[in-house]
Amino acid sequence: MQMRELFNTPKGYKISNFENNPESLDIPIEPYKKKKAICSGCGEIHTKGYHGFEIIKVRDLPAVGRKVYLHVKKRQYVCPKDGKIYVEQIDWIKKKEDIPIDLLKMFTV
Ligand SMILES: [Zn+2]
């Protein structure tokens, strides 16, 4: 089984590293370059104005008795509509809590 499947990595993202800590599994993931960022200011895709990125930590389902944290790379863009900097909008982060059931079964069989 691939790591990506095991941890239910969202579509368009790759695992860039892996930290196996005593208390938790920390998994940094980042978007593939071809996956376009959606501006959280106006909801559109900007191909110019890349500003940088920030890393946010998202709690995933526990695996092998440990907490799992995804460290998600969020890109930032200068929005041409108002000239402000926005991070990309990532819908699956909000839905993350709803996903788990199938994944949970894998670990409880
Ligand atoms: Zn925008």
User: What pLDDT was estimated at residue 9?
Assistant: 74
Per-residue pLDDT at 12 exceeds 60: yes
What is the Cα–Cα distance from 22 to 34, expressed in whole angstroms?
Answer: 35
Distance from residue 52's CA to the centre of ligand 1 (Å) = 15
Per-residue pLDDT at 53 exceeds 90: yes
Distance from residue 29's CA to the centre of ligand 1 (Å) = 23
Distance from residue 96's CA to the centre of ligand 1 (Å) = 24
Question: Looking at residues 81-101, what average pLDDT do you find?
Answer: 76
CA dihedral sign, ordered 38, 17, 63, 23 = negative
User: What pLDDT was estimated at residue 96?
Assistant: 57
Distance from residue 67's CA to the centre of ligand 1 (Å) = 35
